[in-house]
């Protein structure tokens, strides 16, 4: 393993991104506390809040009732995922003017690798990025920037002095400022690992720093423990690229969409979105699973497999059949959440279709594939869901299948 002596990573983590994006987009909100909610409901909770709201004691996850109680003048805009994704792309373009973005970790976190002379100019580059963003995007969407030997430490640095932070962790300063942090300030230390660390007598970052790598491995019960230890100590850690295993979407249903017929519409919409993403990335799927949670908490999952497929007809037909059978068997009256997953992925060049496939079955398959391609082409041209196999109904809140999830930024084509 290589111990890094230079500043090799610049990490950017935007402050209260959705809430500040709303302030940037809506000047009326700038003087008020802002909490972003996922849908228009008094029974939901905040998915983001600005620093004014934070100062009043609100956190991500505070209920709307609590938000109104603590901040009577709070503004509660509904999340506009499409606007945030547009902003995200403008942000990437601006950062790229100064230094290439190596990896997008989420909608509001990016990593840049510094090479050659960039390392000596790292502070200058960080300032140029901050000024460039203020100019190109606006002063309300603020970044916190961390500079450090590796990605892990640069991310930690970016979080050390939020909002509008700028922290440099140099190899020669380690562990120094790390010992002022709590264990849970380190990315990757949450409930499970945190508990195990406690059981092993590790209660502080100092304790963790002083562990032997093998001991860390034992606590994590995997090689991840050694990786974690190495990153903390400023080593370069490479990890195998993760290979995509599935395309899936899930959705929590709002009150008016919990009847089985509405949930079924939602499932069809999610299936169409997942299928479109699968095709955009040039995969076929051999299996589809549907899962739901009934309003009484009961969960159900079913799966069906088929010859490698990429057409909406196959997926919609399979998803609907699984769903209908489960609803009638279990007499479900109300549902809370539905999800669909396409898996058993394969590339078209790897598929050898069954030589004994009946001629009419083959003709039908190719006809559905051709039709699906035509539909995709039209929807790309007319930006959205101009054409679909059967009607698609948008549930309230919109953005089915195009929500910004941790680690996944939807593409602009996901919105329609």
Which stretch in 51-59, 104-112, 119-127, 327-335 sits in contact with Mg ion by CB under 5 A?
104-112
Check binding of 22 to Mg ion (CB under 5 A): no
Smallest gap from residue 13 Cβ to Mg ion (A)? 5
Rounded distance between C-alpha atoms, residue 91 and residue 135, angstroms: 11
Q: Which is nearer to Mg ion, 58 or 326 (CB)?
A: 58
Q: Which is nearer to Mg ion, 108 or 311 (CB)?
A: 108
Radius of gyration, CA atoms only, the chain: 24
Smallest gap from residue 259 Cβ to Mg ion (A)? 37
Q: Which is nearer to Mg ion, 33 or 234 (CB)?
A: 33
Q: What is the 3-state secondary structure (H, E, C) of 293-343?
A: EECCCCEEEEEEEEEEECCHHHHHHHHHHHHHHHHHHHCCCCEEEEEEEEE
Check binding of 108 to Mg ion (CB under 5 A): yes
Rounded distance between C-alpha atoms, residue 300 and residue 91, angstroms: 41
Torsion of CA 82, 85, 89, 94, to 10 degrees: 110
Residue numbers 131-160 binding Mg ion by CB under 5 A: none
Smallest gap from residue 65 Cβ to Mg ion (A)? 25
Which stretch in 102-110, 233-241, 297-305, 309-317 sits in contact with Mg ion by CB under 5 A?
102-110
Smallest gap from residue 148 Cβ to Mg ion (A)? 17
**The token pair that represents 104 in the structure block:** 């997008």
Residue numbers 81-100 binding Mg ion by CB under 5 A: none
Q: What is the 3-state secondary structure (H, E, C) of 14-67?
A: ECCHHHHHHHHHCHHHCCCCEEEECCCCCCCECCEECHHHHHCCCCCCCEHHHH
Smallest gap from residue 22 Cβ to Mg ion (A)? 14
Smallest gap from residue 107 Cβ to Mg ion (A)? 9
Rounded distance between C-alpha atoms, residue 62 and residue 146, angstroms: 28
Check binding of 111 to Mg ion (CB under 5 A): no
Check binding of 13 to Mg ion (CB under 5 A): yes
Work out the number of other CB atoms within 10 angstroms of the CB of residue 292: 27
Contact residues for Mg ion (CB under 5 A)?
13-14, 108
């Amino acid at each position: 393993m290589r111990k890094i002596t230079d500043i090799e990573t610049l990490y950017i983590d935007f402050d209260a991104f959705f809430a500040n994006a709303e302030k940037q987009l809506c000047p009326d909100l700038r003087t008020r506390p802002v909490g972003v909610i996922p849908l228009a409901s008094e029974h939901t909770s905040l998915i983001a809040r600005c620093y004014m709201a934070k100062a009043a004691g609100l956190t991500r996850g505070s209920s709307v009732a609590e938000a109104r109680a603590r901040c009577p003048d709070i503004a509660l805009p509904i999340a506009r995922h499409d606007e945030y994704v547009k902003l995200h792309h403008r942000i990437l373009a601006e950062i790229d003017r100064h230094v290439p973005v190596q990896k997008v970790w989420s909608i509001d976190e990016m990593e840049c690798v510094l090479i050659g002379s960039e390392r000596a100019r790292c502070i200058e580059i960080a300032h140029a990025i901050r000024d460039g963003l203020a100019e190109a995007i606006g002063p309300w969407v603020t970044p916190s920037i961390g500079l450090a030997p590796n990605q892990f430490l640069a991310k930690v640095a970016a979080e050390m002095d939020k909002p509008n932070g700028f922290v440099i962790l140099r190899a020669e300063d380690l562990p120094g400022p790390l010992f002022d942090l709590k264990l849970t300030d380190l990315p990757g230390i949450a409930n499970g690992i945190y508990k195990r660390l406690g059981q092993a007598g590790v209660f502080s970052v100092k304790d963790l720093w002083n562990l032997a790598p093998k001991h860390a491995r034992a606590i994590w019960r995997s090689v991840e423990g050694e990786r974690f230890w190495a990153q903390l100590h400023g080593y370069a850690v490479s990890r195998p690229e993760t290979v995509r295993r599935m395309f899936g979407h899930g959705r929590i249903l709002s009150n008016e969409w919990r009847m089985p017929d509405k949930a079924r519409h939602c499932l069809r919409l999610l299936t169409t979105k997942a299928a479109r993403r699968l095709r955009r990335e040039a995969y076929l799927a051999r299996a589809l699973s549907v899962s739901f949670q009934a309003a009484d908490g009961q969960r159900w999952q079913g799966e069906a497999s088929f010859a490698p497929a990429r057409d909406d007809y196959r997926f919609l037909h399979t998803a609907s059949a699984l769903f209908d059978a489960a609803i009638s068997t279990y007499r479900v009256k109300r549902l809370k959440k539905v999800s669909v997953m396409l898996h058993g992925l394969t590339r078209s060049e790897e598929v050898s279709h069954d030589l004994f496939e009946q001629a009419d079955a083959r003709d039908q398959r190719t006809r559905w594939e051709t039709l699906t391609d035509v539909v995709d082409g039209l929807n790309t041209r007319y930006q959205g869901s101009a054409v679909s196999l059967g009607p698609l109904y948008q549930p309230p809140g919109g953005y089915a299948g195009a929500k910004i999830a941790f680690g996944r930024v939807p593409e602009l084509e996901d919105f329609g």
